[in-house]
Amino acid sequence: MPADALRLQSVTRRYDGGAGLAEVDLTVAHGEIHALVGLNGAGKSTLMKLVVGMLRPQSGTVEVLGKDVARAGPQTWARVGTLIEYPLAYGDLDGRTNLSLAARLRSVPAAGIPTMVDRILDELDFRRYAEIRSGRMSLGNKQRLGLAAALQHHPDLIVLDEPTNALDPSGIIALREALVRRADEGAGVLVSSHHLDEVARIAHRISVLADGRLVGTLDPAGIDIERSFFALVHAASRSAA
């Protein structure tokens, strides 16, 4: 197993108009929860899409579980759990069936799928919605369904973009505990957020993204983490100007 679950080296991906990422270096070790924070438009979602192969870098490399993302095959992606932007589910199928299909797509042996699904339903306190069609679920419950699909197979790398969106407090706590458990089992976790107080509860490292560049790190145990965050962002803005 490679030393890092995820490695970005000198990654650049610019859009017309200049937005995007520039020369980003970032790693996520096995057993580590690495949080990525930034203001809206900082480039967090672009970075996440590069990690899961939805975008390709214009320069630099992205390695997922030791494989270049451009050449990673089904065996590699079966060991990854992702939720980017919004959960994908079949609206006419209930929660349990959607989770079973997600497991099959990740090459989970058929015999083990029912037990796997039952476990994640209990872990995320989602069992009462197991027989509800996803098209009838609230935004928060759709988010829980997407998170369950990303976490149920205990992947070696977890990539979540703003995962607490639409979650109620009980859902946030359940997610937090699930991520800590998986990191304790050796998974690498990359989670983006603009909720500093939330990620500081579980992150081992916090990196700050501003205007497409990594501009510093924050101490999750820091006394005034918000002040430190805005100091980094404002310093980066003045430097760019």
Please state, in angstroms and rounded to a whole number, the distance separating the CA atoms of residues 88 and 111.
Answer: 24
Could you tell me the pLDDT band of residue 194, with boundaries at 50, 70 and 90? confident
CATH of 4-79+156-240, one of 3.30.1490.20, 3.40.50.300, 3.10.50.40, 3.90.1640.30: 3.40.50.300
- The alpha-carbon radius of gyration of the chain (Å, integer) is 18
Please state, in angstroms and rounded to a whole number, the distance separating the CA atoms of residues 42 and 233.
Answer: 10
The answer, yes or no, to whether residue 240 has pLDDT greater than 80, is no
Lowest mean pLDDT among 14-23, 87-96, 143-152: 14-23
User: Domain limits of the chain?
Assistant: 4-79+156-240, 88-154
- Higher pLDDT: 115 or 88? It is 115
In the numeric block, which tokens belong to residue 205? 């490292």
The predicted model gives 58-78 an average pLDDT of: 95
Cα dihedral 74→53→27→190 (10° resolution): -90
Q: DSSP character for 129?
A: G
Percent of the chain beyond pLDDT 70?
99
- pLDDT at 3 (0 to 100): 79
- What are the residues facing 188 on neighbouring strands? 157
Please state whether the predicted TM-score (pTM) of the whole model is above 0.75.
yes
Residue that the structure tokens 């872990």 belong to: 123
- pLDDT at 225 (0 to 100): 92
- pLDDT at 18 (0 to 100): 77
Sequence-ordered alpha helix ranges (H) in 4-66: 44-51
